Amino acid sequence: MTGVSAPTLKGHWLWGNLKDFNTDNLSFIESAANCGDLVRIRFGPMRGYFVNHPDHVCKVLAARSKSFRKPAVVKRALSDILGENIFTSNGAAWKRSRQALQPAFHLRHVERYTQIMQICVERELQDWRAGSVIDLEAAMTRVAMHVIVETMFDAELGESADELSAIFTRLFHLAHRRMKRYALLPNWLPTESNREVKRLSARVRDLLRGFITDWRAGRAKEASLLNLVLGPKDGARMSDEQLINEAITIIGAGFETTAYTLVFTWLALMQNPAVEDKLYAEVDAALGGRRLRLADIHALDYTGRVFKEALRLYPSAWGLSRSTLESVEIGGVVLPRNSTVLVSPWTLGRDPRWYPNPLRFDPDRYLRDNAREIPHYAYIPLGGGARTCLGSHFAMLEAAIILAAIAQRFRLRPLPGSATGAKSVAFTLRPDGPMRVELQPLAHSAMTSPAAPTARAHRAMRTSDSTVCPYSGRIVANAGAIAR
Ligand code: HEM
């Protein structure tokens, strides 16, 4: 069946849906999802489609993936920050990068990073004291930055973690701003923000150069991720600048995504006491008070499902984009060549058709019998198809180690006025308020089951309600008028 037309999301006659998209990404994609499974959208002159059915998503990411590429606007926005990189490259260049990087992220290698991850989280926890208040967002970004840099170089990051985190966050913010304007202006134009990108990129390169020097001198041990990615011989042949590009790409991919998924995992745990109790009991039963060993991961099945559920409700990469290389038929609609296609793990993961009671935080959705009901491409927080996340094992292992290490020591309790949900900032999701939490001592030692906590400041997670948007729980302000 062809020749069918998709509904169009109502927008301004000149700039189409651009203003709505830029004002609030999440509200925009929820409006589009409420409009249909395949919806025409327009950002100024750029025509595109919002795709929101697992079968259609499968076509975009997997079955017909050769007919799609990463949009040029993404490449332009990031080119002087990431250099030539796996994220924005296409065709043969992408294949080369993927083949080079893939072995280092194989499960059997990723497991070698357990010890480094363990050291990073314990270093962070050294200063945590029962009764004190911490900024969880800062703590998780700091520990995720330590983990990614220290596994890469097998060297201690020291004091630079906060600075590097802040710079990466700012660089992505600036890149996103460029995308909002289609990256129409060339990156070499000395605008204020282009100058800032240049200055910050230079600083990142300076910080990483020191590690490269040590790495070349052979101080990094065999286990370093960079050794695995490049192989000591190839690495030695590469220029410092090439090595720095590789490092920046891996940090860019793996730091904010993991850090914020951890933040949201804690947010969900604090809002769901029964889930929290179960996770604490599992960690206690599996580890007691001792350090996690690789073999323990299998005993932390519930903890893994908690992280998986946090990824569903709070997919840090809330939107994936592609552009058609040729005309492609999806659901009877022919998408012309050069159409932009937007897919959202956020709306797919909150769709009541695939997830009954979607706003309920329920790690048991992934128990074998229940998981059968979930279509494969309804769960894409780590992407899908050939370009699926390379760091998924890495992120899962890191999350288990960090969650367990904290759960062995403290309960986290939000201060009044803390975040209750998510908002989108640039390419990733962020909590919609501060994440300052009080560290409460465990009622018993880590060797025994913790008692159920008494007071909980926040229980903002709501169950689905037919009068509100199924995706966000918000009253739908603009469900998107449909014109055919
Ligand atoms: C919870 C944490 C993470 C999330 C939510 C996440 C999410 C994603 C998603 C959605 C994609 C696909 C993008 C697309 O198709 O357009 C992706 C790709 C990628 N991720 Fe992750 N990621 C995470 C952690 C990591 C880590 C820790 C690393 C590395 C250490 C990493 C490395 C990569 C790379 C290299 C790609 C590009 C793959 C390709 O284009 O072939 N990610 N990630």
| pLDDT exceeds 60 at position 226 | yes
Phi, psi of 69 (to 5 degrees): -140, 170
Separation CA 343–CA 377 (nearest Å): 11
Per-residue pLDDT reduced to its tens digit, 428-478: 899 999 999 999 999 764 433 333 222 222 222 222 233 345 555 544 433
Q: Which atom of ligand 1 is nearest to the CA of 386?
A: 41
pLDDT tier, 97 (very low <50, low <70, confident <90, very high otherwise): confident
Which residue's CA lies nearest to atom 18 of ligand 1?
A: 389
Using pLDDT thresholds of 50, 70 and 90, give the confidence band for residue 101. confident
| Residue closest by Cα to atom 34 of ligand 1 | 390
- Residue 2 falls in which region: left (phi positive, over 0), alpha (psi -120 to 50) or beta: beta
- Is residue 403 helix, strand or coil? helix
pLDDT score, position 300: 96
Residue 470: count of CB within 10 angstroms of its CB: 21
CA of 117 to the centre of ligand 1 (A): 18
How far is the centre of ligand 1, averaged over its atoms, from the C-alpha of 473 (Å)? 27
Distance 190 CA to ligand 1 centre (A): 31
Q: Give the distance (Å) from ligand 1 centre to CA of residue 252.
A: 9
Domains of the chain: 8-483 (1.10.630.10)
Query: CA-CA distance, 266 to 276, in Å (whole number)?
Result: 9
Q: Among candidates 295, 261, 300, 264, which has minimal Cα distance to 284?
A: 300
Can you give the pLDDT at residue 387? 95
pLDDT tens per residue across span 363-390: 999 999 999 999 999 999 999 999 999 9
Task: Report the chain's terminal Cα–Cα distance, integer Å.
Answer: 17
pLDDT computed for residue 232 by the predictor = 56
Q: Judge whether residue 17 has pLDDT over 70.
A: yes
Confidence (pLDDT) at 220: 59
**What predicted TM-score, i.e. pTM, was given to this entire model?**
0.88
Q: How far is the CA of 321 from the centre of ligand 1 (A)?
A: 14
If you write DSSP's letter for every residue of 211-241 in order, what string do you get?
HHHHHHTT-S-TT-HHHHHHHHHHHHHS-HH
Query: Cβ < 6 Å from ligand 1: which residues?
Result: 86-87, 98, 101, 148, 250, 253-254, 257-258, 261, 316-317, 320, 381-383, 387, 389-391, 394-395
Closest CA to 267 of 140, 447, 453, 114: 140
Instruction: Tell me, in angstroms, the distance from the centre of ligand 1 to residue 258's CA.
Output: 9
3-state SS class at 295: helix
Q: What's the rounded Cα separation, in Å, for the pair 251 and 243?
A: 12
CA-nearest residue for atom 1, ligand 1, is 258
Q: For residue 465, how many other CB atoms are within 10 A of its CB?
A: 11
Given ligand 1 and candidates 257, 260, 393, which is best to mutate, with the most ligand atoms within 8 Å of its CB?
257
The number of the ligand 1 atom at minimal distance from the alpha carbon of 315 is: 5
Question: What pLDDT, on the 0 to 100 scale, is given for residue 483?
Answer: 34
Nearest residue by C-alpha to atom 12 in ligand 1: 383
Measured distance CA(457)–CA(414) in Å, rounded:
6
Q: Distance (Å, rounded) from C-alpha 316 to C-alpha 260? A: 7
Contact 427, 317 (CB under 8 A): yes
Q: How many A from CA of 395 to the centre of ligand 1?
A: 9
Which atom of ligand 1 is nearest to 381's Cα? Answer: 10
Instruction: Supply the residue whose CA is at minimum distance from atom 31 of ligand 1.
Output: 391
Split at pLDDT 50, 70, 90, the class of 179 is confident
In this prediction, residue 176 carries a pLDDT of: 81
- pLDDT per residue as tens digits for the range 180-192: 766 566 777 778 8
User: Any idea of the CA torsion for 247, 248, 253, 256, to the nearest 10 degrees?
Assistant: 120
* 477 C-alpha to ligand 1 centroid (Å): 32
Mean pLDDT of the region 404-418: 96
Q: How far is the CA of 277 from the centre of ligand 1 (A)?
A: 30
